[in-house]
Structure 1
């Protein structure tokens, strides 16, 4: 199979249709002319960040950069704050406007006729790890071409002559780059160049037999009018897990079962599957060897991944040695420490999804400086009805009880966000920064601690309660007061933090609620720790009202 660079520079391909942008069909020769004009303006020693809306300009820019000998940097987004975070990774930034400006100036410089080897065409992608920080992943065009060479024979028999590659995902990520840009160029297929991240932007332009490049986010949110569009030959999905319900609905509406590609930025494609029932296994791509390490995590080896070396993933898997297929069972690296205990975020999510109240959920640590566990959840119709009846605070407590059937107290989420749809990026992934942003604008859930006096195991805290504190909502309408259970929770939480005692309380005695606590109140919380008897006395009081509440907390003895 002819390589990407060679295809674009073969004179015999000059009149070959390549991409559609707006109402215009561009041929290889059209793009080659722009590549020739842009290339002399770029430096061979540069690291060039390219972020384009137009897939046509994107192709022109990356090819010109590689011809110039530069390294192409693929930012995940054009958000200013994100770019500021990786600014030391590139020397030049090109977007659609900058590329068009360079092309408009023209350039008469003589270009070398020697084309770069695919192994010398360097690229750096960025992906988010568990911390949410941008992580650079180095690749070469040779690795991408090697993957396309093994995938093309799988899909070619299903694609009719004249079918186009229609992309909904961004070409800035490796999945979009491979399937929307490099693959169609290497196989002489026309691709759509206009950005179309939503069905409404392209459903009227789908032709019979076209290949759709989508993500789970697209297939979970099908537009009703798609039932009337011509049938695509293939629908690809990658970037995250696709559930069986979405796969089934897509098959019914579009007449084609989605083909999922499993892989990552680091590995490229690893396996594929079509979900026609429960627990459909993954089939490794041709030439991909698979195995497990001692932790039952999948490891893979292929020419386009790490050559002769094994690449170790963090995906827990089970291999069927008879069929050579495998199933996935969550991530080993989705483990966090809460209150000194290792908590599996995947396990928390699985328990929540078993509830009739939940359709989908993601567990996370919303703030590294506040290690309380949080959950972003999509409620079922029954769950939405309950939320309307009892409010967010009590809804969270109800769901905590569901998880408590399986997990210790440390795994019980304390921060909740109920949404209509889980946030995702253009690839259908759910980056940590998008999930954490849901908690950034939440109502306050803790008081402001303005003074702290301590004398060994006796502590006095001065608290001020914001008027918009979450717990005042709905308790009670017209006369908001702080729920007693919240007062108890704060006492337990502060005691655990200040005295380094177990959060799991075995008993609460002498609990008394004397006077209500209103929004905006300023009060004191006294905590007196008796380590010998494993108990803590607490008392809320204020100058204006005297005692509000008090009690004794007794913690359980840690097992030996």
Structure 2
């Protein structure tokens, strides 16, 4: 049976008398929602033409504020978070704050008498600027993007044309409605098609599993960061008959993760591609035969540019089209593959992070002279920072060590970035790696993080004589030797400890010959990530043997002799 979408611009007048959302406290009826909208219409001191910032973690309360402000002809600014730096930026842009903001910003009275009757709901014009969302600009300053009702409804119509049905499946989600992906797929599309959605987002795989068990049918709206951590040990086969769909967006999902989730849920994972400026424009679903390609949604036209980027045009896209920041390989049938981004925006756990903004925040720190940010693609994408310290910073580095200084500087980033976007890899340099043309190349920056970063401990101090040495080592959590050894509780393998002893023995004493055997070796206590341990070495040139002992304030971790042939 085909269901016509209710226009978002006229939802208050046309919505059927049916539940809207569900949660641990039960279902939310249409009348309950309308009562909350009427309450906010009475409470908010909003005037037509104003812009109001809205932040609320409860999806139903967020929706109530949204609908109430629209009825008062206000544009709603939707920030991705409520961090102090974000809020400070918004103060220069908006006329009011509504939702979970400090009382000094949300100056209205939350309590009011219940309205005796509901207002006469008005349909809003298609060209009304309903939303203002923010995307990371190439300069580091978040860029506002305005969405009219016509643009939003055009995108929803394209989605409904491609994937009709499944209206009885409850939307279970891990995504926030404070981002465009969540707004569209968690809130607006279900709302306009009369589909129940959960008012609270899931945090962990176990939450998804528990919530899905409560519904006869469900569809999952998630992100690569959650789907990449799906726990396969849960009894997903008991839910596969209930699952009607799975969506992923915010970044490309690894093929193996897509296939695993598809096998567990019994449905293909549909990935959505687009941007804040364009909305959803393409999709794909992986299969076991080969890497899937991206196909355009209905109503989207494209043009391939000389630099291999795409310019897209559609009713949902403002102006004369939008050029995306990814380079693509376009096939004759119109499908394409992504080749990488051309701008300075990194996707970390599905969040867009402006590398320019990371640099700006770093260079405001009193200990930093200059900084360069980059994204490292390993098991997961991580933000890395190359830092040139000023004189005071160099003194702090000498006094606190790298670990202490990094901890101090990271605090300055927390008001600006979500935890997943904080820099995780650091290099302190005396001089930025300029080339002969006076430019800092990406290759030079990357090289700083490829120099044995993941294979060796951090050497804090070292003293040595002709036959003995004492080293103090920090054991970085990112060592490759922790991978798979063991999942959830990583420890440093014994063979790695022997390998390091051989390395430093050759470096300090000039030991020669091939590794022969181990004598009296003992592994007494495990070494965990981020530990600080001491390594004692003693070399007998006559016997060509190297004694080693790892110890800390916990006692001896390992000891033995290495015999060279």
What TM-score comes out, normalization by structure 1 length?
0.61
Cα deviation, 1:16-63, whole Å, max 9, x if unaligned, reads 111013231112122112112211333124311111111100111100
**Contact residue 219 and residue 244 of structure 2 kept, 8 A:** yes
User: d(CA) in 2 for partners of 1:137 and 1:60?
Assistant: 22
User: d(CA) in 1 for partners of 2:100 and 2:373?
Assistant: 41
Partner of 1:31: 33
SS class of match (2:291): coil
Structure 2: give runs of 5+ residues left out of the alignment.
Answer: 364-369, 381-385, 387-401, 404-415, 432-456, 464-468, 474-507, 509-565
Q: Give matches, 1:168-247, under 5 Å.
A: 168-206=174-212, 207-223=215-231, 224-225=233-234, 227-231=236-240, 232-247=243-258
Partner of 2:303: 291
* RMSD, aligned CA: 3.7
**Contact residue 69 and residue 121 of structure 1 kept, 8 A:** no
User: d(CA) in 2 for partners of 1:278 and 1:334?
Assistant: 30
User: d(CA) in 2 for partners of 1:121 and 1:131?
Assistant: 25
**Contact residue 172 and residue 201 of structure 2 kept, 8 A:** no
State yes or no: 1:438 paired with 2:424.
yes
Higher share in helix: 1
**Contact residue 57 and residue 96 of structure 1 kept, 8 A:** no
Structure 1: give runs of 5+ residues left out of the alignment.
Answer: 336-344, 350-361, 381-395, 397-414, 417-429, 449-469, 482-512, 514-560
SS class of match (1:25): coil
**Contact residue 128 and residue 431 of structure 1 kept, 8 A:** no
User: d(CA) in 2 for partners of 1:218 and 1:111?
Assistant: 41
What TM-score comes out, normalization by structure 2 length?
0.61
**Contact residue 363 and residue 375 of structure 1 kept, 8 A:** no
**Contact residue 21 and residue 56 of structure 1 kept, 8 A:** no
State yes or no: 1:88 paired with 2:98.
no
State yes or no: 1:74 paired with 2:78.
yes
**Contact residue 344 and residue 354 of structure 2 kept, 8 A:** no
Q: Give matches, 1:252-271, under 5 Å.
A: 252-271=263-282
Cα deviation, 1:170-228, whole Å, max 9, x if unaligned, reads 00111111111111111111111023233233321213531111011111011232625
Q: Are the structure 2 counterparts of residues 246 and 202 from structure 1 closer, same or farther at C-alpha, using a change threshold of 3 Å? A: closer
Cα deviation, 1:270-306, whole Å, max 9, x if unaligned, reads 1011011443111100111111112111111111113
Q: Give matches, 1:402-421, under 5 Å.
A: none
* Number of residue equivalences: 384
Q: Are the structure 2 counterparts of residues 295 and 198 from structure 1 closer, same or farther at C-alpha, using a change threshold of 3 Å? A: same
Partner of 2:6: 2
**Contact residue 51 and residue 95 of structure 2 kept, 8 A:** yes
User: d(CA) in 2 for partners of 1:174 and 1:279?
Assistant: 27
**Contact residue 460 and residue 471 of structure 2 kept, 8 A:** no
Q: Are the structure 2 counterparts of residues 107 and 29 from structure 1 closer, same or farther at C-alpha, using a change threshold of 3 Å? A: closer
**Contact residue 140 and residue 355 of structure 2 kept, 8 A:** no
Cα deviation, 1:303-342, whole Å, max 9, x if unaligned, reads 11136x2221121112222x2211111112249xxxxxxx
**Contact residue 127 and residue 265 of structure 1 kept, 8 A:** yes
State yes or no: 1:164 paired with 2:170.
yes
